[in-house]
Amino acid sequence: MNSSSRTRSYIATFAAALIALFMAGCGGGTSSVTTITGGGAGGGGGGSVVSVDTPTGPNTTEIVVDGGPPSAFALGVANIPYVTVSVCTPGSATNCVTIDHVLLDTGSIGLRVMKSAVASLSLPAVAVPADAVSATPAGDAVECYPFVLGAIWGPIARADLHIAGETASSLPIQLIDDSTTPTHAAPADCVAASNGGLLSSVASLEANGVLGVGMIKFDCGLMCVTGNYTGGYTLYYSCPTGGTCSPAAVPSALQMQNPVSFFATNNNGTIVVLPTLPDLGAGVAKGRLVFGIGTQTNNQISPTAKMYLVDANPASATYLYLTTTVGSTVYRNSYIDTIPAGGTKAPCISWRPISIPWTMP
The pLDDT score that the predictor gives to residue 9 is 33
Q: Distance (Å, rounded) from C-alpha 355 to C-alpha 350?
A: 16
pLDDT score recorded for residue 214:
86
Question: In this predicted model, which residue has the larger pLDDT, 197 or 239?
Answer: 239
Delimit the domains of the chain by residue range: 2-354
Rounded distance between C-alpha atoms, residue 167 and residue 179, angstroms: 28
pLDDT higher for 224 or 356?
224
Whether the pLDDT of residue 147 is over 90: the answer is no
Q: Calculate the CA 343 to chain-centre distance.
A: 21
Dihedral (CA of 256, 258, 259, 262) sign: negative
Residue 199 vs residue 14, higher pLDDT: 199
d(CA 81, CA 62): 10
- pLDDT computed for residue 277 by the predictor: 84
pLDDT of 12 strictly over 50: no
2-354 has which fold? Cathepsin D, subunit A; domain 1 (2.40.70)
Q: Angle 295-51-259 (CA atoms, 0-180°, nearest 5)? A: 40
Determine the average pLDDT of the residues in 66-73.
78
Return the closest-CA partner of residue 87 out of 213, 198, 209: 209
Higher pLDDT, 149 or 33: 149
Cα–Cα distance, 190 to 226 (Å, whole number): 19
For 291-343, write each residue's pLDDT tens digit: 999 999 999 988 888 777 777 766 665 567 778 888 889 887 777 777 654 33
How many other C-beta atoms can be found within 10 angstroms of the C-beta atom of residue 30?
10
- Among 5-19, 103-117, 164-178, name the one with the lowest average pLDDT: 5-19
pLDDT at 28: 41
Q: Across-strand partners of 356?
A: none
